[in-house]
A and B are shown apart, each in its own frame.
Chain A
Amino acid sequence: MLSKRIIACLDVRNGMLAKSVKFVDTKDIGDPVEKAQEYYEDGLDELVFYDITASSDDRNIMLDVVEEVAKKVYIPFSVGGGVRSVEDASKLLWAGAEKINVNSAAVKRPELIAECAHAIGNQNVVLSMDILRREECREFPSGYEVVINGGRTPMGVDALAWALQGESLGAGELVVNSIDADGTREGYEIKLTRMIAEAVSIPVIASGGAGKPEHLYEVLTEGKADAALVASMVHYGEYTVSQLKQWLHDKGVKVRLKY
């Protein structure tokens, strides 16, 4: 039986680990390579790195980080932030990433998903979606809107429609990131995650809002997510990856315990 995955999300700025709260006010918290290795040793299933470097001139630093991680960590990891072309995607894969994440650039130019899927395979293309809660209306029938630029720019696109379009364009997985929940540590957006997970036939990774083990349990059961993204709850040492997995296992969720 397939296990539910626990994925740690590492925001990287200028080669250093940062944790964003509602995507503003970020604060450096260490070396991403060391953290990645620590989580790997502790049984993490997968990693996601988001490059939040402001200037594109500094993007090569991220490639160095990816090279270093790939030498030390033998689980899948994906990289996102600033992927605007097949060339960007190919560079990251060559450096050692298993998958790439597209986000803002794909909302602005959806063909990017198809181009990447064609060049590097659907299974290696993850569509990350930043989503804000809205009143249900004609424009947003799902009650959620896609936003970009770290949540600052609403795009007038319905979240569910975008998820379905992303799948049909060739995305292999979806990250459903709730901007409302992100950084609150009060739990994932269950309703949103479940709505998208039930509508698509590719894996859905829930993101934003994890603060307690119960939150992971909720989103992996009621929320129907295939994987749960965690960040601050493990970055500051409050929980370890192995503790979270043991806790989920004890609650009857199938997770990988032997590693």
Chain B
Amino acid sequence: MRVAIVDYDAGNLRSVQRACQAVGLDGFITASPEEVLAADKIIFPGVGSSVSAVDTLHDRGLFDVLIEAFHKGTPLLGICLGSQIVLEHTEEGDKDCLGLIDGVVERFDFADRTYKVPHIGWNEINIAQPHPLLRQVEDGDEFYFVHSYFTRPTQQANVVATTDYNINFCSILAKDNLFATQFHLEKSGRKGLSILAEFASWEGGSTC
């Protein structure tokens, strides 16, 4: 099985690759549109700014390839920034994104300064609907977050889990063969690795 880890200059891809290895998934890092399109599974991680991320996806010819891969049914896993760029639009730099899921990305904007931005650390997820990738995850399990922007999908059907940080935001979203987490599952201990392990055998689809 060929698992492409998409290189769009957005963060430490090796961490994701190592986490893949830890669960027996052999991921290869690539920036080639042909290799991404030919892969059996695709992971697009990411930290940093979605402005440069989206620009780089365009520059490398990866933007349309990700959309094509989604429509042909390749299982896709987005992580952190990779979960934000699947929506239609982000407030960050007023950028149009992949549009695989209806909705937008907004910035945390709290009057209460005890809620620091970025949201950094371990926080719980509340599972809104069961999903095969969460087979080893329970309601209330904690994952590691680092982000200032959050996703707001239009359809409740795309919300798999939410997390409370002054507001209740969507921390996992999914649609068909796409699954995306706002948290860094590669840095979230065993619970995070379990999602990757399930991804290894996932064919796409939301039936448990």
Residues in A lying within 8 Å of B, measured CB to CB? 1-3, 5, 40, 45, 70-71, 74-76, 93-94, 96, 98, 121-124, 172-173, 201-203, 226-227, 256, 258-259
Docked Cα-Cα span, A98 to B146, in Å, equals 11
Residues A70 and B18 in contact, CB atoms below 8 Å apart = yes
Residues A2 and B123 in contact, CB atoms below 8 Å apart = yes
Report the contact-size class of chain B (Cβ under 8 Å from the partner): 35 or more
Residues in B lying within 8 Å of A, measured CB to CB? 11-12, 14-15, 18-19, 21-22, 47-49, 113, 116-124, 138, 140-142, 144, 146, 164-165, 184, 186-193
Residues A172 and B118 in contact, CB atoms below 8 Å apart = yes
Residues B47 and A124 in contact, CB atoms below 8 Å apart = yes
Partner of B18, one of A71, A121, A173: A71
Docked Cα-Cα span, A253 to B117, in Å, equals 21
- Can you list 9 A-B contacts with CB-CB less than 8 angstroms, sorted by A residue number? A3-B123, A45-B122, A75-B187, A76-B144, A98-B12, A121-B48, A201-B113, A258-B141, A259-B189
A-B contact number at CB 8 A = 86
Residues A1 and B164 in contact, CB atoms below 8 Å apart = yes
Partner of A74, one of B14, B165, B189: B189
Residues B144 and A203 in contact, CB atoms below 8 Å apart = no
Q: Which residues of A contact B186 (CB under 8 A)?
A: 74
Docked Cα-Cα span, A88 to B87, in Å, equals 35
Main secondary structure of the interface of A (DSSP, over half): loop
Contact (A258, B140) CB under 8 Å given A201-B116, A226-B116: yes
Docked Cα-Cα span, A2 to B125, in Å, equals 10
Name the residue among B11, B116, B184 with the largest chain A CB count within 10 angstroms: B116
Q: Which residues of B contact A98 (CB under 8 A)?
A: 12, 15, 187
Docked Cα-Cα span, A94 to B22, in Å, equals 18
Residues A70 and B15 in contact, CB atoms below 8 Å apart = yes
